[in-house]
Amino acid sequence: MSRPKRSTEDFAEEVRAHLEFEADELRSEGLSAEEALRRAHVEFGSVRTAKERFYLRSRIQWLDSILRDLRYGVRSLFNSPGFAITAVLTLALGIGANTAVFSVMNAVLLRSLPVSDPTRLVYLHPSHAPYGTGTINSRETLSYAIYETLHDQHPGLADVIAYVPLSINKVAVRYGAQPEEAEGDMVSGTFFSGLGVKLPQGRGFTEQDEKDHASIAVISYNYWTRRFARNPDVLGTTLFVNGIAFTIVGISGEGFEGLEAGRSTDFWIPLQNRPELNAWGNPLDDGKTYATNPTWWCLRLIGRLAPDVSKQQAAAALNPLFQRAAYIGLGSPAAGEKAPTLSLEEARGFPGYSEEYGRPLRMLMAMVGFVLLIALTNVVMLLTARNAARQREFSMRLALGAGRRDLLRQLLAESLLLVTAGGALAWVFARMATRALASWAQIESSLAPDRTVLAFALGILFVAALIFGLAPLRIALAAGPALSLKTSAATSNADAGRSRGARIMVAFQMTLCVVLLVGAGLLIRTLRNLENTPLGFPVDGLVVFGVNPHVTSVPQGKAFYRELISKLRELPGVESVTVMQERIGSWSSDNSDMTVDGRLPDVPNGSSRTVRSNVAGPGFFTTLGVPVLAGRDFADSDTETSPHVGIINEQFARRFFPNRNPLGHMVGTNDGRYQMTVIGVVKDHKYRSIDEEPIPMAWYEYAQIPIAGRMEVELRVHGDPLAILPSARKVVQQIDPNLPLIKPMTQRAQYNLTISSQTLFARLAGFFGLLAVVLVATGLYGTLAYRVSRRTAEIGVRMALGAGRSQVVWMILRDSLFLTAVGIIAGVPLAFALGRALSSSLYGVQPLDALTYGIAILGVTLVAFIASAAPASRAASVDPLKALRTE
């Protein structure tokens, strides 16, 4: 046991005394007072050096005692492995879950782009696009004409950068012989220079490259690593994109994955203007590419604010230009049309993701926060119980001469060990959980933890260490040396105050547990509802893939699909085959107004005229299994030369042909240029996603419309749908060896993707609910077991005085049931609040769903029962004689 450290002052005092003694002696030998003092000093040598050596020595000693404390701590934790493992695991789960969710939230909502001076970058977002325009996202995408205008003249901005993907998913590329897929963007010449992205190898693009539509490409560091094994010789070689040759001229710096939200771009090429490389992989619209079509708003723009210009100033300067540019090629605004406006938004997180994931992520963050609170209180309770049980040990050590400071330092060392071990494990756990989260949320860009995430995790650990350090403080101060002299467990029992603290914590945990279970319950019921939503047709047995043939004319395209369909029909196991332009269940739809019998239909004030449309091949509804209510399905006999035919759904018929038979009427595009006769009415069904409501829809016949390009192929097969893919791939490559199957999957999987965020949300919430239950159960069990063991003597006395075993069991149970009741009473209103906040994420279930509350309350009560059962039965089996004799 080390004594309180000796101060340097005390040492200095001793040295001073020494010098005086020495001088005294020298004086008595006959020296003068002055000379005696001088000689004493000389003989001693440097006083300062002595002091320094003393100081240094005490430092080393201090370090030594810390090491001793840590060694002792490790030993004592090893002596109670149950406690140590529970505490470390609890911490790791709590902190790991928080770090993982925070990592994703950080990437999606908070993180700036990995470019130079990201705070000066702004997204250019439009609102009120003019009538007659089509957008990718009405609040994010702009036309090429607008880009051109702002590129030439951009007051308030230092640079304007345009970028657009070459495909909705991946684009066909070839490097060497093997066709494959990659994610590619077309970008303006200012892309790399304007963003400030470094290219350690090769070069980026210039304004001239953009003007020339230069056939050069920059590949990303990730693609370089994944596909080319970081071979530096890749510079100067050729990458074929949709069959067009591009020379690789640069490799982007590590960490830059492009600007596509949640994606990792593999390569960039300068903006092109050719049919093979249209924006989003779309077929030409009336012979126009994105660059020549003013009605297609499909580019994303990002700008860098000029020095000393605010977002508002720049927006004000840009808007007059923007409003003029918005109508280039469109004529003048219609009466009553709202003026389009441009707003600048800070480039932070993933654009567009904050709407879909922002709220769920914040809710998840709150939920894991609750889990963390439960985990922390659990460890505090465990620590308190353990330290209280060790009070005799502490008293003994105090009696043997240890200082309270030694004791406290000892306890702090143990806490530190727990936090360090828990933190290390939490980091491992968080990395794994983040990866799982990313794959579930379909985020391909890297979610590697950055400094913010690290700071977040360390922050939690610091708070944990502080709490765990303070918890034992009271114990260490309360333990007196006298305590060890008392021998009775009854007298050395924990005083009422401390057990009150534990009881409050248990009730608090119950409260949080109720809230988490209600939240998890609501979300899981939502998921069940979504999964069981009927789609309106038998989706099992369907498989879908995309093909993007290299065709230069419409007839060539039609011929390609005719050949493909007939060849696929011959495959064994294939029941029927059809094609469509927009893949169903992929979130996207082509929305526009349509003419009915030659004019835009009248609609009651305020209601929408919008119609969704798609282009479908022969036997489309038969293949899907959507019932045709009147008329017929598209057939092979519908060709370029036969009369134009179309099919509508019930909603269309009800809204635009009220009380009339729609068959035989004409419907057409909003400009009236393409007209078709309605030949069938089909039953409403889920088109874009599982959780949508049906709206009016119309289908064009694929062979008749003047568009050729990428289509989605749908097969209905016998047996496992995916088993057909190898032979389907062979068929496609017989026609064109360069064509990959694009995103092949079952139609069921495609629909499930539309609820992937809900699925993820519900699964995570369920997991956190379960985690909370497990943590609460261990916490309650630990506390109760400890209290029963402390009350063995008391129970013995009670039983000796005539208390029955059932009374003893009830005594223990009553206690935990009371705490549970308190927790539930506090938790239900809190769960109300959570349910209300969740309401926008719920589907087919009310925020105040009685069943969910019932199950949550039952669950918590059950947990309390189970956790109390073992301690209660132990209490009941106390032998009164033995219990009293041990005293």
Partner 1 sequence: MPTQENNDDRIALLQGTLDILILKTLLLGPLHGQGVARSIQRQSEEVLFVDHGSLYLALQRLEDKDLIQAKWGVSENNRKARFYSLTAKGRAELLDKTSQWKRLTRAMGLILEPQGEEG
- Least spacing, CB of residue 44 vs partner 1, in Å: 4
Q: Using the minimum distance from each CB to partner 1, give the nearer residue, 57 or 230.
A: 57
- Least spacing, CB of residue 30 vs partner 1, in Å: 17
Judged by CB under 8 A, how many residues of this single chain contact partner 1?
A: 24
Do you know the residue count of the chain?
887
Positions 850 through 879 that interact with partner 1 (CB under 8 A): none
Q: Using the minimum distance from each CB to partner 1, give the nearer residue, 61 or 727.
A: 61
Positions 594 through 623 that interact with partner 1 (CB under 8 A): none
From residue 680, give the alpha-carbon distance in Å to each of 589, 595, 645, 661, 735: 21, 17, 9, 10, 33
Query: Using CB under 8 A, which of 4, 9, 30, 49 touches partner 1?
Result: 49
- Least spacing, CB of residue 14 vs partner 1, in Å: 5
Q: Write the interaction track for partner 1 spanning residues 60-79; mark x where CB under 8 A is met and - where it is not.
A: -x------------------
How do strand 267-270 and strand 184-187 relate by DSSP bridges? parallel
Q: Using the minimum distance from each CB to partner 1, give the nearer residue, 401 or 643.
A: 401
Q: What is the C-alpha separation between 705 and 579, in angstroms, rounded?
A: 14
Q: What is the C-alpha separation between 265 and 255, in angstroms, rounded?
A: 11
Cβ atoms < 10 Å from Cβ of 697 = 22
Q: Using the minimum distance from each CB to partner 1, give the nearer residue, 38 or 362.
A: 38
The helix (H) or strand (E) run that includes residue 746 is strand 742-746
Q: Using the minimum distance from each CB to partner 1, give the nearer residue, 28 or 659.
A: 28
Query: Using CB under 8 A, which of 27, 31, 39, 50 touches partner 1?
Result: 50
- Least spacing, CB of residue 482 vs partner 1, in Å: 25
For residue 671, give both structure tokens.
């400009």
- Least spacing, CB of residue 15 vs partner 1, in Å: 7
Q: Using the minimum distance from each CB to partner 1, give the nearer residue, 55 or 72.
A: 55
Contact 254, 221 (CB under 8 A): yes
Q: Using the minimum distance from each CB to partner 1, give the nearer residue, 40 or 161.
A: 40
Q: What is the C-alpha separation between 529 and 526, in angstroms, rounded?
A: 5
Q: What is the C-alpha separation between 584 and 587, in angstroms, rounded?
A: 8
Contact 433, 96 (CB under 8 A): yes
- Least spacing, CB of residue 406 vs partner 1, in Å: 15
Query: Using CB under 8 A, which of 26, 36, 54, 445 touches partner 1?
Result: 54
How do strand 742-746 and strand 542-547 relate by DSSP bridges? antiparallel
Could you tell me which stretch among 31-39, 53-61, 68-76, 279-287 binds partner 1 (CB under 8 A)?
A: 53-61
Query: Using CB under 8 A, which of 53, 230, 338, 882 touches partner 1?
Result: 53
Positions 819 through 838 that interact with partner 1 (CB under 8 A): none
Which segments of 118-189 does DSSP mark as H helices, in order? 144-152
Positions 68 through 127 that interact with partner 1 (CB under 8 A): none
Contact 223, 252 (CB under 8 A): no
From residue 22, give the alpha-carbon distance in Å to each of 12, 15, 44, 518, 595: 15, 11, 9, 82, 116
Positions 8 through 47 that interact with partner 1 (CB under 8 A): 10-11, 13-15, 17-18, 20-22, 24-25, 43-46
- Least spacing, CB of residue 47 vs partner 1, in Å: 8
The string of DSSP codes covering 268-301 is: EEE---SGGG-GGGPPPBTTB-TTT-TTEE-BEE
For residue 375, give both structure tokens.
């985990």
Q: Using the minimum distance from each CB to partner 1, give the nearer residue, 38 or 550.
A: 38
Nearest Cα neighbor of 598 from 673, 687, 504, 700 is 673
Could you tell me which stretch among 2-10, 139-147, 166-174, 830-838 binds partner 1 (CB under 8 A)?
A: 2-10
- Least spacing, CB of residue 414 vs partner 1, in Å: 25
- Beta partners for residue 577, in sequence order: 715
Q: Using the minimum distance from each CB to partner 1, give the nearer residue, 13 or 575.
A: 13
Footprint of partner 1 (CB under 8 A): 2, 6, 10-11, 13-15, 17-18, 20-22, 24-25, 43-46, 49-50, 53-54, 57, 61
